[in-house]
Structure 1
Amino acid sequence: MALHLHLCSSFSGQELVLGRRWKHSFPKKTTQSPNQLSISCGTFPFSNTKFRRPYTSVMIVPTGVGASIGGFAGDALPVARTLASVVDCLISHPNVLNAAMLYWPLPNVLYVEGHALDRFAQGSWALQPIHRNKVGLVLDAGIEEELRIRHLQVADATRASLGLPVVEYVVTDTPLQVEKWVDHRSGQSTGRIRHPDSLLRAVHTLVNHSQVNAIAVVGRFPDDDVKEMEDYRQGKGIDLLAGVEAVISHLIVKEFQIPCAHAPALSPLPLTLSLCPRSAAEEIGYTFLPCVLAGLCNAPQYVAKDSGTLGQGCILASDVDSVVIPIDACGGEGTLAFARSLRHKPLIIAVEENQTVLDDTPDKLGIKAVKVSNYWEAVGVIAAHKAGVDPNSLRRNGINNIRLSSVSPCNGYLASNTV
Structure 2
Amino acid sequence: MFPASSSAAPRGLLETHGRYRGRGFHSVLSNRRYELDRCGVHEADALLALVEDSFKESALRWFISEADRARIVVESTEYAGPLPSPPAPPARSRCGLDTVVSLIPTGIGCSVGGYAGDAAPITALLAQAADLVVTNPNALNASNFIRTGERVLYTEGSCIDSFARGAISLHRSRGNRIGLIIEGAAPEAVEHVWNVTNAVRAVHGVDIVDCVVTERPIGTRCVRNESGAYAGRIDAPEVLLDAARGLIDRGANALAVTTNVQGLTSRDYAAHFTGRHANPVGGAEAVLSHLLVRTLGVPAAHAPMMNFKNLKLDHSVVDARSAGEIVSVSGLACILIGLANAPQISPVSRGSRLAEEVGFGDVVAVVSPADALGGVPVLEALRQRIPVIAVQGNSTLLDVTAAALGLPGVVEVANYAEAAGMILALRCGISPESITRPLRALGLAGREAVGNEG
SS in 1 for 2:357: coil
Q: Structure 1 pair 402/281, CA: closer, same or farther in 2 (3 Å)?
A: farther
Give structure 2 stretches of 5+ with no counterpart. Answer: 1-94, 349-353, 446-454
How many residue pairs match? The answer is 342
Alignment of 1:165-184 (within 5 A): 165-184=207-226
Q: How far off its partner does 1:387 sit?
A: 1.9
> AA paired with 2:342?
A
Residue 201 of structure 1 is matched in structure 2 by: 242
State which of 311, 316, 319 in structure 2 corresponds to 1:273.
Answer: 316
Residue 254 of structure 1 is matched in structure 2 by: 294
Contact residue 182 and residue 189 of structure 1 kept, 8 A: yes
Contact residue 89 and residue 110 of structure 1 kept, 8 A: yes
Q: Structure 1 pair 161/58, CA: closer, same or farther in 2 (3 Å)?
A: same
Matched, 1:119 2:162: yes
CA offsets 1:316-339 (integer angstroms, 9 cap, x no match): 111111010001111112221122
Q: Structure 1 pair 191/362, CA: closer, same or farther in 2 (3 Å)?
A: same
Give the Cα–Cα distance (whole angstroms) in 2 for the partners of residues 191 and 385 of structure 1: 38
Contact residue 271 and residue 277 of structure 2 kept, 8 A: yes
Contact residue 133 and residue 214 of structure 1 kept, 8 A: yes
State which of 392, 401, 405 in structure 2 corresponds to 1:361.
Answer: 401
Q: How far off its partner does 1:270 sit?
A: 5.9
State which of 421, 443, 452 in structure 2 corresponds to 1:380.
Answer: 421
Give the Cα–Cα distance (whole angstroms) in 1 for the partners of residues 296 and 397 of structure 2: 31
Q: TM-score, normalised by structure 2?
A: 0.72
> AA paired with 2:141?
N
Residue 211 of structure 1 is matched in structure 2 by: 251
CA offsets 1:119-144 (integer angstroms, 9 cap, x no match): 11001111111211000100012x21
State which of 229, 232, 249 in structure 2 corresponds to 1:188.
Answer: 229
Give the Cα–Cα distance (whole angstroms) in 2 for the partners of residues 75 and 187 of structure 1: 21
Residue 349 of structure 1 is matched in structure 2 by: 389
CA offsets 1:333-372 (integer angstroms, 9 cap, x no match): 222112212xxx2210001121212222122222420011
Residue 130 of structure 2 is matched in structure 1 by: 87
State which of 87, 112, 118 in structure 2 corresponds to 1:69.
Answer: 112
Q: TM-score, normalised by structure 1?
A: 0.77
State which of 357, 361, 368 in structure 2 corresponds to 1:325.
Answer: 368
SS in 2 for 1:153: helix
If each structure's strand is expressed as a fraction of its own residues, which one has the higher value? Answer: 2
> AA paired with 2:191?
I
Q: How far off its partner does 1:384 sit?
A: 1.3
Q: How far off its partner does 1:393 sit?
A: 2.5
CA offsets 1:164-192 (integer angstroms, 9 cap, x no match): 111210012310122212101x2201121
Contact residue 73 and residue 100 of structure 1 kept, 8 A: yes
SS in 2 for 1:95: helix
Contact residue 173 and residue 355 of structure 2 kept, 8 A: no
Residue 152 of structure 2 is matched in structure 1 by: 109
SS in 1 for 2:127: helix
State which of 101, 118, 131 in structure 2 corresponds to 1:58.
Answer: 101
State which of 200, 211, 230 in structure 1 corresponds to 2:270.
Answer: 230
Give the Cα–Cα distance (whole angstroms) in 2 for the partners of residues 313 and 71 of structure 1: 30
Aligned residues: CA RMSD? 2.1
Give the Cα–Cα distance (whole angstroms) in 2 for the partners of residues 236 and 136 of structure 1: 35
> AA paired with 1:351?
V
Bigger Cα Rg: 1
% identical equivalent positions: 36
Alignment of 1:125-164 (within 5 A): 125-141=168-184, 143-164=185-206
Q: How far off its partner does 1:303 sit?
A: 2.8
> AA paired with 1:188?
A
Give the Cα–Cα distance (whole angstroms) in 2 for the partners of residues 245 and 312 of structure 1: 28
> AA paired with 1:144?
A
Give the Cα–Cα distance (whole angstroms) in 1 for the partners of residues 382 and 274 of structure 2: 35
Give the Cα–Cα distance (whole angstroms) in 1 for the partners of residues 318 and 355 of structure 2: 47
Give structure 1 stretches of 5+ with no counterpart. Answer: 1-51, 306-310, 405-419
Q: How far off its partner does 1:304 sit?
A: 8.2
Contact residue 124 and residue 304 of structure 1 kept, 8 A: no
SS in 2 for 1:167: strand
> AA paired with 2:212?
V
CA offsets 1:370-390 (integer angstroms, 9 cap, x no match): 011111211111111112222
> AA paired with 2:260?
R
Contact residue 352 and residue 373 of structure 1 kept, 8 A: yes
Residue 337 of structure 2 is matched in structure 1 by: 294
SS in 2 for 1:303: coil
Give the Cα–Cα distance (whole angstroms) in 1 for the partners of residues 153 and 366 of structure 2: 14
